[in-house]
A and B are shown apart, each in its own frame.
Chain A
Amino acid sequence: MTDEDENGSGDPTPLRRPGEGVPPKPEGPKTSVAADVAALAGGLKTTLQEFFRPVVTTEYPEEKTPRSERYRGRHYLRRYDNGLERCIGCELCAAACPVGCILVIAAENTEENRVSPGERYAKTYEINMLRCIFCGYCEEACPVQAIVLGPEYELSDTSREKFIYTKEKLLEPLPPDVQARLSQAHAPLPNPPPEGGRAPNR
């Protein structure tokens, strides 16, 4: 065994010249059989204690961990209380989307067919949920708070086509707790959202 084999415990030892004797090995920490066995017993004791402590696993499908109020899950398109859609087809959400997963095709509102209070409305509103990264920029970009990210995250499905969320699907009623939070937060529209954390940086 040469001195290179010793792991560096401090000062670098000078190289030996040929013929020079091997320097004595530096004294490591004393090891004894008793200490080793004690260490072994300590480890076994620890694992045995863990064995009798309660399990910490969350049994996922049955019980779920709490999520933040502002969790960003699947999207919803909102309506006004009188039933008109909020979306005015401005496509700012599509412009803000970093992955380009939102498709908005706008159409003019007419007297016979009034869908939204503005000039135009979204004739087609599709989100490709496979591409969506749930960043929430669309929610921030929207001038009328039409699109909002809800709490659902279990979005698995059986075909790629089913992940193109159409306007019909997105217009489904919001979960009541999200509804309550939003109506509290954005009572007078179109003010910027006053809730803390989300900076009104548009």
Chain B
Amino acid sequence: MSDFYNNAIGHWVVVAIAMTLLLFVVLTATAYTVWFERVALGRIQRRPGPNRVGPFGLLQLAADGVKLAFKESFIPAKTDKVMYVVAPTIAVAAAFLSWAVIPIGIWYNVQYWIADLNIGVLLVFAFSSLNVYAIMLGGYSSNNKYSLLGGLRSAAQLISYEMALGLSLVPTFMIVGSLRLRDIVDYTVHWGPYTGPLPLIILTPIGFVIYLMAAVAETNRAPFDLPEAEQELIGGFLTEYSGLKFVMYYLAEYVNMITVAALATLLFFGGWYLWIVPPVLAFFLKVVFFLFLYIWLRGTLPRLRYDMLMRLGWKVLLPLAIANIIVTGVVLVVVQG
């Protein structure tokens, strides 16, 4: 099998198949994440959520997709047309590109997924940072004050939280000694009688908390959904988008949500290792747990005010992340001699 991988043609065949599969899997997962969110939010508000299209409303997203696809793709007057059209495609491309390095095909002796980079995490954050371009350009090119405000908020917010997000993971890298996602999941400890994979949340709980908050902000989800802010900005950067272009932003948001959930699983919760549960199921359950956590937060917390958001990012999360790095470094030096 490994001969086939190492062969140049075989390599590309595997990658092409993996990409096709991935597109299908992630799109389906996105659709059902939206369904899951709507049902879970409904239950939190004691509503049933969508239950009309298909059994348990499972085909709701198909119906919504058809409706949105056949909507008029409207471009308002005096927009920067190129930017206006390109911005949503950046969002969707960046969202999908992150999945190139997320090792979801590692099980059952599949040696790598699309790319097994030794800087995997870095790549994910590079691509998720591209999202700010999509939102900013979309807001800027729409020729609408609400869109522009949404774009500006997004820029400020993403810059503030990207720092904390990146720094929150540094202790993990210091402990594991690698940025490759597979290595981080495979991190093993030999603690007395126990030898085996260890969920890194046990070693870096503070990093996990910072990651959780920063990741919500990074994906523009409630309670950090200031760029959209339906009540104050009538949708922010999304105001002027409709039809398929709106679908792209929407899709990107949910793909990003799954991405950060998958990353949390891989970085802090031991990826596909869960006692005797089969790896695919373990990974799935953990991701679903994180998705539920995001939905739960959305159903619970009101949106932060803008200055509170900035204060939390710069005055709380960032110093905490730096302190976390320093403490972890000192402990590592002491422990490892």
A interface residues, Cβ below 8 angstroms from B: 40, 43-44, 46-48, 50-57, 59
Residues of B with C-beta under 8 A to A56 = 46-47
Q: Is the interface of B mostly helix, strand, loop or mixed?
A: helix
B window 168-197: CB within 8 A of A: none
Expressed in whole angstroms, the minimum distance between the Cβ of A192 and any Cβ of chain B is 46
Knowing A43-B301, A57-B48 touch, does A48 contact B296 (C-beta < 8 A)? yes
Task: Determine the chain A residues whose CB is within 8 A of the CB of B48 once the complex forms.
Answer: 55, 57, 59
A55 touches which of B40, B47, B299, B301 (Cβ 8 Å): B47
* A46, B44: Cα distance in complex, Å: 9
User: Which of A40, A47, A54, A57 is the one whose CB lies under 8 Å from B44?
Assistant: A47
Once the chains bind, are A43 and B43 in contact (CB under 8 Å)? no
How many residues on the B side are at the interface (Cβ–Cβ under 8 A)? Answer: 14
Contact of B46 among A43, A44, A55, A59 (CB under 8 A): A55
B contact residues around A46 at 8 Å (CB)? 300
Nearest B residue to A44, CB-CB: B300
List 14 interface pairs A-B (beta carbons < 8 Å), by A numbering.
A43-B300, A44-B297, A47-B300, A51-B40, A51-B43, A51-B44, A51-B296, A52-B43, A53-B46, A55-B42, A55-B43, A56-B46, A59-B48, A59-B51
Those 3 A-B pairs whose CB atoms lie nearest each other, nearest first:
A47-B300, A51-B43, A43-B300
B residues less than 8 Å from A51 (CB atoms)? 40, 43-44, 296
- Once the chains are docked, how many angstroms separate the CA of A65 from the CA of B115? 57
Q: Is the interface of A mostly helix, strand, loop or mixed?
A: helix
B301 touches A54 (CB 8 A): no
Check B46–A47 contact: CB distance below 8 A. Answer: no
| Residues in A neighbouring B42, C-beta threshold 8 A | 55
In angstroms, how far is the closest chain B Cβ from the Cβ of A82?
49
**A53 CA to B46 CA, complexed, in Å:** 7
**A61 to B, closest residue via Cβ:** B52
Q: Which residues of chain A come closer than 8 Å to B73, judged between CB atoms? A: none
Q: Which of A44, A51, A56, A57 has the most CB of B within 10 A?
A: A51
B45 at the interface (CB under 8 A from A): yes
Kindly state the separation between the CA atoms of A44 and B212 in the bound complex, as whole angstroms.
Answer: 15
B320 to chain A, nearest CB (A): 11
Beyond the given pairs A44-B296, A50-B43, 20 more chain A to chain B contacts, judged by CB atoms under 8 angstroms and listed by A's residue number, are: A40-B301, A43-B301, A44-B297, A44-B300, A46-B300, A47-B299, A47-B300, A50-B45, A50-B46, A51-B296, A52-B43, A53-B46, A55-B42, A55-B43, A55-B48, A56-B46, A57-B46, A57-B47, A59-B48, A59-B51
| A55 to B41 alpha-carbon distance, docked (Å) | 12
Contacts of B300 in A (CB 8 A): 43-44, 46-47
Which of B45, B51, B296, B300 has the most C-beta atoms of chain A within 10 angstroms of its own C-beta? B300
* B contact residues around A43 at 8 Å (CB): 300-301
Q: Which residues of A contact B47 (CB under 8 A)?
A: 55-57
CA A127 to CA B58, docked complex, whole Å: 44
Which residues of B from 40 to 77 have beta carbons under 8 Å from A? 40, 42-48, 51
Chain A residues with CB under 8 A of B301: 40, 43
Measured CA separation A47–B293 after assembly (Å): 12
Query: How far is B337's CA from A4's CA once the two chains are assembled, in angstroms?
Result: 56
Q: How far is the CA of A56 from the CA of B299 in the complex (A)?
A: 17
Residue of B nearest to A46 (CB): B300
Bound-complex Cα distance A43 to B44 (A): 12
- A75→B249 CA distance, assembly (Å): 50
Query: Hey, which chain B residues are within 8 Å of A59, CB to CB?
Result: 48, 51
Q: In the assembled complex, how far is the CB of residue B327 from the closest CB belonging to chain A, in whole angstroms?
A: 17
Nearest A residue (CB) for B299: A47
In the assembled complex, the Cα of A24 lies from the Cα of B151 at a distance in Å of 39
Closest A residue to B49 by CB, please name it. A55
Tell me the bound Cα distance from A57 to B46 in angstroms.
Answer: 7
In the complex, residue of chain A having the shortest beta-carbon distance to the beta carbon of B293 = A44
Distance of A51 Cα from B301 Cα, bound (Å): 15
Residues of B within 8 A of A40 (CB): 301
Question: Would you give the shortest CB distance from A66 to chain B, in whole angstroms?
Answer: 20
Contact with A along B294-321 (1 / 0, CB 8 A): 0011011100000000000000000000
State which of B40, B46, B296, B299 has its C-beta within 8 Å of the C-beta of A54: B46
